[in-house]
Amino acid sequence: MSKARLNPSDFLLEDDHPLRRYQRYGVYLGGAAVLASMVAFLTVPTTFLRGYLIAYMFWLGIALGSMGILMLQYITGGRWGAVLRRILESAARTIPLLAILFVPIALRLGDLFAWARPAAVAGDPILQQKAFYLNVPFFLARAVFYFAVWLVVEFFLTRWGSEPDGSYDAANETRLQFLGRGGLLLYALTMTFASIDWMMSLEPHWFSTIYAIMILGGQVLSAFAFAIVIAATLKTNTWVARVIGPDQFHDIGKLMLAFVMLWAYFSFSQYIIIWSGNVADETPWYLARTSGGWQWIALVLITFHFAVPFLILLSRPIKQNAHRLAAVALALLVLRYVDLSWLITPAFSPGRLSAHGMDVISFAAIGGLWVYAFVRQLAKRPLVPVGEPILPYREERT
């Protein structure tokens, strides 16, 4: 059978695929965790929301990072993006769910942000100076705007991108390239302000000009790692195995290595600029994250978020082996959560390493629902864009 005559139905997710089982687990685990979260939200909202924010930023990072990679691929081209396209689209399609899951944060801003508490603002001259930007109505209006932009970009990106299933339209490709250029700019701008609003403003006396870029790089790294893990599981489909081969895993493995290095570069740049400047308003942020036990988390991040994966991913055979590369990617996903915890939690317990059972419940609640939504979207269409002319076929049926 020629490539043009391939049947898109051959590439659908099988009913007995392991991802279907994970989807069911996600429903059960997420449902139970949601019930526990509702109780925690009503009884211990402050403790609950601190863990909820970490989990929320983790899963949001995968969704938005996937959208960013999609737009990057439409602009630059390349087979590496074609083989991941349906995975990335399915992850991006979870943004509507994440918009709904932002509601608990919006309802109890005062439990997270000092600037949202009138008493704290009244006694703090710096918060009073920043009140024109850091105030509840404007914060919520900006959040609505961010989600509106992301939803619009995601809608057209995934709708137009799903068209080449058995056919190819050059005009549609041009349309996606234009959307990718504008969409990448919008993503960078909105996520820059969102990272300031939702994370950096937890400590409103501190600021960094590199912080938002570091968050953006982390999101794309999370999306690459997640896509590699899913792509490795999809190789059980004999047709998908003919498309996503060692060369494709090698390509996306190199890109994941690039973003590991980019994350390390931005993180170190922020550290060296702030530490060498030795400004009283800036260095306490790092002091809170390098004392009281947090220094060991920082060491874990330096070692296992950068040094170890950097050395491992230099190996071509590892990048070409789907399962070994997926193991590295899965480890990086765990470290991405640790990194977000290191960024967020010390804002509430500076200089004292702390963790709470609510962190696990929050992660399970959001993650269970997110995994269910992701697999549901993935199962709706072929696992690869069958009509895409740059899609590699290592073998064809005769």
**Distance between CA atoms of 281 and 20, rounded to whole angstroms?**
50
pLDDT for position 391: 73
Q: 229 falls in which pLDDT band (50, 70, 90)?
A: very high
Judge whether 379 and 87 are in contact, CB under 8 Å.
Answer: no
Summarize pLDDT for 53-86 with one digit per residue, the tens: 999 999 999 999 999 999 999 998 878 888 899 9
Q: Are 307 and 267 spatial neighbours (Cβ–Cβ below 8 Å)?
A: no
Mean pLDDT of the 143-162 span = 94
Strands (E), the chain: none
**Look-up of token digits 């993503």:** 187
Q: What is the pLDDT of residues 165-188, one digit of tens each?
A: 655 667 788 899 999 999 999 999
CA distance 58 to 56: 5
Length of the chain: 398
- DSSP structure class, residue 13: P
d(CA 251, CA 320): 8
Residue 370 reports pLDDT greater than 90 = yes
Six-digit token string for 382: 């072929």
H helical segments located in 242-293: 246-277, 283-287
Residue with tokens 């139970």: 32
How far is it, in rounded angstroms, from Cα 63 to Cα 61?
Answer: 5
- C-alpha to C-alpha distance for 20 and 170, rounded to whole angstroms: 34
The shares of helix, strand and coil residues in the chain, as percent rounded to the nearest 5, are 75, 0, 25
CA distance 326 to 303: 19
> For the chain, what are the domain ranges?
30-378
3 state DSSP class of 169? coil
Q: Which structure tokens are listed for 270?
A: 């922020």
Integer Cα distance of 326 and 309 in angstroms: 12
Do 33 and 358 meet the contact criterion of CB atoms below 8 Å apart? no
Structure tokens at 49: 């929301």
- pTM exceeds 0.85: yes
Q: Which two tokens stand for residue 393?
A: 């076929």
φ and ψ of 395, to 5 deg: -160, 145
What type of residue is 305? Answer: H
Each residue of 5-54: pLDDT tens digit?
567 777 889 888 899 999 999 889 989 999 999 999 999 998 999 999 99
Average of pLDDT values for 215-244? 92
Tell which residue, 387, 56, 384, 88, has the closest CA to residue 223.
88
Cβ neighbours of 115 (radius 10 Å): 24
pLDDT above 50 (res 1): no
- The full DSSP string for 85-114 is HHHHHHHHTTHHHHHHHTHHHHHTGGGT-G
Residue 4 has pLDDT above 50, yes or no: no
Between CA 116 and CA 121 the distance in angstroms is 8
pLDDT at 386: 80
Is the predicted pLDDT of residue 313 greater than 70, yes or no? Answer: yes
> With the C-alpha atoms ordered 298, 299, 302, 303, is the resulting torsion angle positive or negative?
negative
What's the pLDDT at 398?
32
For 25-29, 259-263, 299-303, which range has the lowest pLDDT when averaged over its residues? 25-29
Q: Give the separation between CA 280 and CA 367, rounded to whole angstroms.
A: 38
Q: Average the pLDDT over 187-211 and give the result.
A: 95
82 Cβ contact list (under 8 Å, min separation 6): 73, 384, 385, 388, 390, 391, 392
What pLDDT is attached to residue 210? 93
